A and B are shown apart, each in its own frame.
Chain A
Amino acid sequence: MKVLVPIELVDGVPLPDSLGVLEQVSAAGFESWALVCAGDAHAVSAAVARHGCAGVLVAEDDVFASPAPAPRAALVADLVAARGFGAVALATSVLATELAAQIAARCDSSVQWALTGLERDGDTLRGLRATHGDAMRATVEWLAGPAIALFRPHECSPGEPQAQSAPIEIVSAGTLPRAAVAIEVLPGEDAGARALDSAEIIVSGGRGLKSAQELDLVRDLADALGGAVGVSLPLVDMGWAPRAMQVGQTGTVVSPKLYVACGISGQIQHKIGIEKSGLIVAVNTDKDAPIMSFCDLGIVGDLRVVLPALAAEIRAARKA
C-alpha cells in the first residue's frame, strides 16, 4: 500500500517528527512517499529524500509561503485521488492536526489520532492508538479509504540521513484554493514553547512548590544540568509562570533525553505530555504519587532539601 507523508517545514527545515513518521511507515512495510510543499523546495527535498522513502513529491507554489493548511489539503486530496494512495500519515502538530482534518473532509474519509504505530495485514491497515491516558492501546481500522493517520507528538524520531537518496519528482500544484485564514508566525517573543519542544534536558516544577520564589530551586537544578525549565498546569493557573512554560497535554508535549519532575504528582495530562521522554526522574514527598509509577528514578523527599543537594552533586560530577 502506498502511504503519503506530508512533511512539515519550520523555517524551511523539515520537522524531525515528520521525518520520523516517514521512516516508521517504511519500516512497517508500506511504500512511503514524502510530500514537500514550499515556495522553494530544492534543498529541503534533497534532505528528505535521504530518510528511507520510496520517493519525494515536490510541489512549489507561492501559496506555500504561508503555513496555512487549506491549499496543502487540496493538493493532498488531488494526489490521493490521482495516484492511489491508500493512506496519509502525519505527525501531530498544531498545523498538522488541522491539515489532517481538512484532508479527511476533502477525501470524505476519517481520521484516527494519537497513533503509536501502523501495521498492515494483507491489504488491511491497522493503527494502534494510545487511549485512557496512555494506559491502553486500542486497535483501530478504517472502513473506507483513504485512511488518515495522525501519530502522537514525538512518537517517531528519525534516524541519521542515509547515503542512498530516493527519487524526487516535481508535481504540478495546479490551481489551489487560497487559504481563508491568514496565519502570521510571530517571531521571537514567548519562545518558551519552542525552547521546551527541542530541549534535551527539562526540569519542571509543580504544585509541590510553596511559592513562585521556589521556582528558583528548579531553575538552579536546570542550570546545573544545562537544561530548560518547565512547569505543570497549576503553576500557570496560579500565575507563577507563563503558559509557554507549561508541559503537558494542554501545554507542550515534550521528549527530552532527561525529564526531572519536581513536586509534580503526575496527573494524566502531565503524563501524556512527558511519556516520550528518555529518562524520567521524579522528586516527590509522596511515594504513592502517580508519577512514581511512570518514572525511571523516584526520589522520595522534600524538594527543598533534595534539589539543592542534586544541583551540588551534578556540578561536582561535571567538574570531576
Chain B
Amino acid sequence: MSMNKELLEAIQRNQRWIEKKCRICEKDQSKCEELIGDILLNLYSSNDNFSKKDSVNADAWVKRIATNVTASHIEKEIAEKRIFDKKAKDIEIHHIEKPNANHDLSIVMDYINTKLNPKDREIMSLYLMQESQAVISEIIGLEAGTIANRITIIKKELNSLFNQEPV
C-alpha cells in the first residue's frame, strides 16, 4: 500500500510537532518512542480513509490522530498507576528531576497531565505548543469561544499555583 502523497507530506511537516506532543505527555524515552511508533502506525492505517475524503486538511488530520493516540496513552498510564500504586496520592506522569530543569515548566506539565480532565488536558497541551485557538478548535472539535474560555480559566489556576506563597 503506497501512502497518499498529501498525507505523507503532512506527516513529514508535522514530525517535530508529533515528537513535541509525545514529549509533553511522556517523560520515559523508550515509552515516548513507542508512542511515536503508535502514532505513525495509526497514521499509516488511516491512509485509505484519508484518500476517500474529498476535502480534508491534512495537517489537522495528522494532529488529530496524534492528539487522540497520546490522550489514550495518558489515560492508560493514569489508570495503571491508580491500579498498581493505590497508596500514591499524586500521580506523576511527567516529572523530570534535573538540577538545571525549568521548575515552573515541570509544575505546568505535571498539573496539565495529572490534574485536568481529558478535554482540558488536551486543550492546554496544545496551548503549550503555541497552537492558535482556531487550530485547537479544529483538533478538539469544540467552538473557539469555548476553547478560549477554558484556556483563560486554567491559566488563572496555573498562575495562582505559581504565585502562591510556599507553605
Tell whether A pairs with B.
Answer: no
B: residues with CB less than 8 A from A are: none
A: residues with CB less than 8 A from B are: none
